[in-house]
Amino acid sequence: MSTTAEMSLPPEWNDDERMNFMFSEFKENRDVNTTDWDSKMDFWTALIMRSCRRRGSVIVNLQDLNKTFQRKEKTPLGLSTVIQTMARCGKIQRESEFAASVDCGWVSWSVGMLLVKPLKWTFSTLLGSNRVPLEESFVVIELVKEKATELLKVYRSSDFSSCSVVSFQELCTLSSNICADESTLCMALLQLQKDKQVIVSLHEGEKIVKFCQLGQDRVSPFGDIDIGIYQLQRSEKLLEERVQKLNLEADRCKEEARILLRDGKKTQALRCLRGRKRVEKRADSLFAKLETIRGILERIAQSQTDKMVMQAYQAGVSALRMSLKDVTVERAENLVDQIQELCDTQDEVNQTISSGVAAADEDMDELEKELKALLDESEPDVNTSGLPAVPTNRLGPTSEQTLSSLPDVPRGHLHVTTDALEEELNRLTLSEAGSPQRKATSPGRRAEAAQ
């Protein structure tokens, strides 16, 4: 158990007045001053949890707590009350009670391995003693659940995840960074046993642990197949170790023969080479057996995979059968016909809507034509029927004949006086004022009038 110098303490730890209150006994009746009683209980409960987390342990006892929280050669007087209160609240539990709460198969090996004293604990409980024995161990429930979760996570992320059965010693090595000691590992395994995630058994005096595999809700009991696979795996490891040792021995013989040959000891070098050949032959024999065992394990793994695939197929067929229970070809054809009818109806509706819009556009065109007609009626009526048409084409032979029939343009000097022109102008002015559609006078007539 660590001391207070090695752990993080609350700020009030250096306050003598406050610590004198915390180190004093609890009042026998909590109702006398519930605020002080609860504040002291919360202080020590949080400090105990912090100490256990820092140590990585899930087990506490009164003797270690008194040593851990000693201050200025003073020991807290109320820790016994704190432990009893935490036990009543379910935050901690006696180690024997925690082990017995799993099942009978676990109690024998866990009790013997952890060196617990169930008889002493039972007497203490039956006699109704309020005193907590100094060496009596308690399990912190919250922390043991955390350790169990971490242990399961580490197993599934390790190389052992492919093996459902693992030896206890291998598990100790695997969890060395999580569980501070073997007792913590055992408590974590007990919690996983409660959660139906592992099961522990004895095989030839060796403790073995079977883990629940991914995709399973709970671990299955040990069977002959599990024991057989475990024996094959153990044989594989033993053969690997022996083959490795033989290879090292063969290399050593070869190096020794090289040294002897260098020193001129040819006979001894040949003896070393013969020994090397014997060792290599033994290594080859063991390696052949190792390959056979590996082949068997691979086939077992493949069979388990095939079994899982078959189970998945079976589940898929059952689900597909249930999903297609009310589905028939006739019903599908009926639905397709209904969909086609609805699509046709939608097309007709769209066509009707589009035709209504076109009719509205035609009405607008008619209204615009009528408006244009009204505008034309409001403008003055100018008769342009008497005017000659403007030629649009080039002059052809017919046009040249027409022009040749016209009278020649006078070429002589016109004897027109100024008075005659003014009189003609006045007459034209009066004539235009009287008739807006007056015909134009030809140049020949104006010339005659002027004469």
**Which CA distances in Å does 419 have to 222, 414, 416?**
146, 14, 8
pLDDT of residue 413: 52
Stated pTM of the model: 0.58
Q: Once rounded to an integer, what is the mean pLDDT over residues 225-246?
A: 89
Residues 299-325: tens digit of each pLDDT: 887 887 888 889 889 999 988 888 888
C-beta atoms surrounding 339 within 10 Å:
10
- Higher model confidence: residue 380 or residue 278? 278
Q: Are 134 and 61 in contact (CB under 8 A)?
A: yes
Q: Are 80 and 71 in contact (CB under 8 A)?
A: no
pLDDT of residue 286: 92
* Helical packing angle, 141-156 and 182-194, nearest 10°: 90
- Higher model confidence: residue 416 or residue 255? 255
The one-character DSSP state at 412 is: S
Q: What percent of the chain has pLDDT over 70?
A: 76
Q: What percent of the chain has pLDDT over 90?
A: 14
Does the pLDDT at position 399 exceed 90?
Answer: no
Residues 185-223: tens digit of each pLDDT: 888 999 998 888 898 888 888 888 998 887 778 888 888
Mean pLDDT, all residues of the chain: 78
| 162: confidence class by pLDDT, cuts 50, 70, 90 | confident
| 123: confidence class by pLDDT, cuts 50, 70, 90 | very low
Domain locations in the chain?
224-349
Q: Are 192 and 210 in contact (CB under 8 A)?
A: no
Residues 244-282: tens digit of each pLDDT: 999 999 999 989 888 888 888 888 888 888 998 999 999
* Rounded Cα–Cα distance for residues 260 and 254 (Å): 10
* Rounded Cα–Cα distance for residues 437 and 426 (Å): 17
pLDDT of residue 178: 87
